[in-house]
A and B are shown apart, each in its own frame.
Chain A
Protein backbone atom coordinates (compact mmCIF):
# COMPACT_ATOMS: atom_id res chain seq x y z
CA UNK A 1 0.00 0.00 0.00
CA UNK A 2 1.54 3.27 -1.17
CA UNK A 3 1.24 5.70 1.73
CA UNK A 4 2.81 8.55 -0.24
CA UNK A 5 1.71 8.99 -3.84
CA UNK A 6 3.06 11.12 -6.63
CA UNK A 7 0.61 10.47 -9.41
CA UNK A 8 2.48 12.33 -12.15
CA UNK A 9 5.59 10.43 -13.21
CA UNK A 10 6.73 13.37 -15.34
CA UNK A 11 6.19 17.08 -15.85
CA UNK A 12 7.51 19.40 -18.53
CA UNK A 13 7.52 23.23 -18.22
CA UNK A 14 9.09 26.18 -19.98
CA UNK A 15 11.93 28.09 -18.40
CA UNK A 16 10.65 31.03 -16.36
CA UNK A 17 7.23 29.50 -15.77
CA UNK A 18 5.93 27.88 -12.58
CA UNK A 19 6.44 24.19 -11.88
CA UNK A 20 3.90 22.55 -9.58
CA UNK A 21 4.61 19.08 -8.28
CA UNK A 22 1.92 17.28 -6.33
CA UNK A 23 1.92 14.67 -3.60
CA UNK A 24 -0.86 12.88 -1.72
CA UNK A 25 -0.60 10.82 1.45
CA UNK A 26 -2.92 8.44 3.22
CA UNK A 27 -1.46 8.12 6.72
CA UNK A 28 -2.97 10.77 9.00
CA UNK A 29 -0.14 10.18 11.48
CA UNK A 30 2.38 11.85 9.18
CA UNK A 31 3.33 15.19 10.67
CA UNK A 32 6.44 16.17 8.74
CA UNK A 33 6.91 16.35 5.00
CA UNK A 34 9.98 16.82 2.84
CA UNK A 35 10.88 17.29 -0.80
CA UNK A 36 14.06 15.91 -2.30
CA UNK A 37 15.67 16.49 -5.66
CA UNK A 38 17.68 13.78 -7.37
CA UNK A 39 20.01 14.07 -10.31
CA UNK A 40 21.14 10.94 -12.16
CA UNK A 41 24.03 9.11 -10.48
CA UNK A 42 23.65 11.19 -7.32
CA UNK A 43 21.86 10.67 -4.05
CA UNK A 44 18.70 12.65 -3.22
CA UNK A 45 19.33 16.18 -1.98
CA UNK A 46 17.12 17.81 0.62
CA UNK A 47 15.15 20.71 -0.83
CA UNK A 48 12.51 21.93 1.61
CA UNK A 49 10.35 20.64 4.43
CA UNK A 50 7.14 21.53 6.23
CA UNK A 51 5.69 20.61 9.57
CA UNK A 52 2.00 19.78 9.87
CA UNK A 53 1.50 22.83 12.09
CA UNK A 54 2.10 25.02 9.04
CA UNK A 55 0.39 25.26 5.70
CA UNK A 56 3.16 26.98 3.78
CA UNK A 57 6.93 27.19 3.81
CA UNK A 58 9.11 29.21 1.46
CA UNK A 59 12.77 29.05 0.61
CA UNK A 60 13.80 31.25 -2.28
CA UNK A 61 12.20 29.96 -5.47
CA UNK A 62 10.71 26.95 -3.70
CA UNK A 63 7.44 26.94 -1.77
CA UNK A 64 5.72 23.95 -0.26
CA UNK A 65 2.00 24.05 0.50
CA UNK A 66 0.28 21.61 2.83
CA UNK A 67 -3.46 20.91 2.89
CA UNK A 68 -3.99 18.60 5.83
CA UNK A 69 -7.70 18.10 5.31
CA UNK A 70 -7.06 16.90 1.76
CA UNK A 71 -3.86 15.06 2.75
CA UNK A 72 -2.14 16.84 -0.10
CA UNK A 73 1.02 18.83 -0.52
CA UNK A 74 2.57 20.57 -3.45
CA UNK A 75 5.93 22.04 -4.37
CA UNK A 76 5.99 25.24 -6.40
CA UNK A 77 9.12 26.33 -8.22
CA UNK A 78 9.06 29.90 -9.50
CA UNK A 79 10.65 30.75 -11.83
CA UNK A 80 11.68 27.37 -13.17
CA UNK A 81 15.22 27.03 -14.50
CA UNK A 82 16.79 24.36 -16.72
CA UNK A 83 19.00 23.35 -13.77
CA UNK A 84 15.86 22.36 -11.90
CA UNK A 85 15.44 19.40 -14.26
CA UNK A 86 15.63 16.37 -11.98
CA UNK A 87 13.48 13.79 -10.26
CA UNK A 88 11.60 15.19 -7.27
CA UNK A 89 10.60 12.94 -4.39
CA UNK A 90 8.01 13.71 -1.79
CA UNK A 91 8.58 12.08 1.61
CA UNK A 92 6.69 11.94 4.90
CA UNK A 93 7.52 11.07 8.45
CA UNK A 94 6.02 10.87 11.92
CA UNK A 95 7.37 12.18 15.21
CA UNK A 96 8.31 15.52 13.73
CA UNK A 97 10.69 14.04 11.20
CA UNK A 98 12.88 12.09 13.58
CA UNK A 99 11.62 8.75 12.31
CA UNK A 100 12.09 6.95 9.03
CA UNK A 101 10.94 8.53 5.80
CA UNK A 102 8.27 7.12 3.50
CA UNK A 103 8.84 8.18 -0.10
CA UNK A 104 6.70 8.63 -3.16
CA UNK A 105 7.84 7.26 -6.50
CA UNK A 106 9.03 10.60 -7.75
CA UNK A 107 8.16 13.04 -10.54
CA UNK A 108 10.64 13.75 -13.29
CA UNK A 109 10.67 17.47 -14.00
CA UNK A 110 12.03 18.77 -17.28
CA UNK A 111 12.48 22.51 -17.67
CA UNK A 112 12.88 23.47 -21.31
CA UNK A 113 14.97 26.52 -22.26
Chain B
Protein backbone atom coordinates (compact mmCIF):
# COMPACT_ATOMS: atom_id res chain seq x y z
CA UNK B 1 0.00 0.00 0.00
CA UNK B 2 1.03 3.62 -0.51
CA UNK B 3 2.97 5.54 2.10
CA UNK B 4 1.65 9.04 2.84
CA UNK B 5 3.58 11.82 4.51
CA UNK B 6 1.38 14.55 5.90
CA UNK B 7 2.52 17.77 7.55
CA UNK B 8 2.31 19.57 9.82
CA UNK B 9 1.31 16.92 12.34
CA UNK B 10 -0.25 19.56 14.56
CA UNK B 11 -0.63 23.30 14.81
CA UNK B 12 -2.23 25.93 16.98
CA UNK B 13 -3.48 28.89 14.97
CA UNK B 14 -5.09 32.23 15.62
CA UNK B 15 -8.62 32.77 14.40
CA UNK B 16 -8.82 34.59 11.09
CA UNK B 17 -5.59 33.10 9.78
CA UNK B 18 -5.08 30.27 7.27
CA UNK B 19 -3.18 27.00 7.44
CA UNK B 20 -1.98 24.89 4.51
CA UNK B 21 -1.65 21.15 5.03
CA UNK B 22 0.59 19.14 2.72
CA UNK B 23 0.22 15.53 1.65
CA UNK B 24 2.94 13.64 -0.21
CA UNK B 25 2.43 10.10 -1.54
CA UNK B 26 5.25 7.74 -2.47
CA UNK B 27 3.48 6.60 -5.66
CA UNK B 28 1.34 8.17 -8.36
CA UNK B 29 -2.36 8.14 -7.58
CA UNK B 30 -5.30 9.47 -9.54
CA UNK B 31 -7.51 10.54 -6.67
CA UNK B 32 -6.63 11.95 -3.29
CA UNK B 33 -9.22 12.54 -0.60
CA UNK B 34 -9.31 15.04 2.24
CA UNK B 35 -11.23 14.15 5.40
CA UNK B 36 -12.01 15.98 8.61
CA UNK B 37 -12.63 14.44 12.01
CA UNK B 38 -14.19 16.81 14.49
CA UNK B 39 -13.96 15.91 18.18
CA UNK B 40 -16.13 12.87 18.95
CA UNK B 41 -17.33 12.62 15.38
CA UNK B 42 -16.77 10.34 12.42
CA UNK B 43 -14.43 11.08 9.55
CA UNK B 44 -16.21 13.29 7.03
CA UNK B 45 -15.10 13.72 3.44
CA UNK B 46 -14.32 17.33 2.55
CA UNK B 47 -13.35 16.92 -1.09
CA UNK B 48 -11.81 14.70 -3.73
CA UNK B 49 -8.71 16.08 -5.43
CA UNK B 50 -8.03 14.95 -9.00
CA UNK B 51 -4.85 15.90 -10.79
CA UNK B 52 -5.50 18.31 -13.63
CA UNK B 53 -9.01 19.31 -12.62
CA UNK B 54 -10.77 21.20 -9.88
CA UNK B 55 -11.49 19.41 -6.65
CA UNK B 56 -14.97 18.04 -6.05
CA UNK B 57 -16.44 19.25 -2.77
CA UNK B 58 -18.98 17.49 -0.60
CA UNK B 59 -22.13 19.13 0.63
CA UNK B 60 -21.35 21.66 3.34
CA UNK B 61 -17.80 22.35 2.16
CA UNK B 62 -16.83 25.15 -0.24
CA UNK B 63 -13.72 26.01 -2.20
CA UNK B 64 -13.35 29.46 -0.65
CA UNK B 65 -13.04 27.92 2.80
CA UNK B 66 -11.04 24.82 1.86
CA UNK B 67 -9.05 25.52 -1.33
CA UNK B 68 -7.20 22.46 -2.61
CA UNK B 69 -4.27 22.15 -4.96
CA UNK B 70 -3.22 19.03 -6.85
CA UNK B 71 -0.19 19.99 -8.96
CA UNK B 72 0.87 16.40 -9.74
CA UNK B 73 0.01 12.77 -9.10
CA UNK B 74 1.92 12.51 -5.81
CA UNK B 75 1.12 15.74 -3.99
CA UNK B 76 -1.83 17.76 -2.72
CA UNK B 77 -2.47 20.59 -0.30
CA UNK B 78 -5.55 21.59 1.66
CA UNK B 79 -5.85 25.11 3.03
CA UNK B 80 -8.16 25.92 5.91
CA UNK B 81 -8.96 29.61 5.39
CA UNK B 82 -10.13 32.34 7.74
CA UNK B 83 -10.12 29.89 10.63
CA UNK B 84 -12.52 29.90 13.55
CA UNK B 85 -12.54 27.67 16.64
CA UNK B 86 -15.14 25.46 14.90
CA UNK B 87 -12.40 24.43 12.45
CA UNK B 88 -10.48 22.72 15.25
CA UNK B 89 -10.31 19.15 13.98
CA UNK B 90 -8.03 16.45 12.70
CA UNK B 91 -7.52 16.74 8.94
CA UNK B 92 -6.47 13.65 7.01
CA UNK B 93 -5.51 12.96 3.43
CA UNK B 94 -6.16 9.58 1.90
CA UNK B 95 -5.55 7.65 -1.30
CA UNK B 96 -7.30 4.67 -2.78
CA UNK B 97 -5.34 1.50 -3.24
CA UNK B 98 -5.56 -2.24 -3.12
CA UNK B 99 -5.71 -3.97 0.23
CA UNK B 100 -6.31 -7.65 0.87
CA UNK B 101 -7.62 -8.37 -2.61
CA UNK B 102 -10.08 -5.51 -2.56
CA UNK B 103 -10.07 -1.76 -2.32
CA UNK B 104 -8.69 -0.02 0.69
CA UNK B 105 -7.84 3.51 1.60
CA UNK B 106 -4.51 4.52 3.05
CA UNK B 107 -4.51 7.54 5.32
CA UNK B 108 -1.85 10.00 6.32
CA UNK B 109 -1.10 10.43 10.01
CA UNK B 110 -3.30 13.49 10.20
CA UNK B 111 -2.96 17.15 11.14
CA UNK B 112 -4.39 18.10 14.51
CA UNK B 113 -5.51 21.71 14.21
CA UNK B 114 -6.47 23.85 17.18
CA UNK B 115 -7.84 27.33 16.51
CA UNK B 116 -7.71 29.80 19.39
Contacts and interface: CB of A to CB of B under 8 A. Distances in A.
Interface string B1-23: 10010100100000000000000
A105 B6 contact: no
Interface in B98-116: 99-100, 102-110, 112
Interface residues of A, number: 28
Contacts, number: 67
A46 B1 contact: yes
Given A49-B99, A49-B100, A97-B102, A44 B43 contact: yes
Interface in A21-40: 32, 34, 36
Contact of A106 (B9, B42, B99, B109): B42
Interface in B65-116: 92, 94, 96, 99-100, 102-110, 112
Given A34-B105, A43-B107, A43-B109, A105 B96 contact: no
B41 interface: yes
B29 interface: no
Given A43-B4, A43-B109, 10 more contacts: A32-B103, A43-B6, A44-B43, A44-B107, A45-B107, A59-B100, A93-B103, A96-B102, A96-B103, A105-B40
Interface of B: 1, 4, 6, 9, 33, 40-45, 48, 58, 92, 94, 96, 99-100, 102-110, 112
Interface of A: 2, 4, 32, 34, 36, 41-46, 48-49, 51, 59, 89, 91, 93, 96-98, 100-106
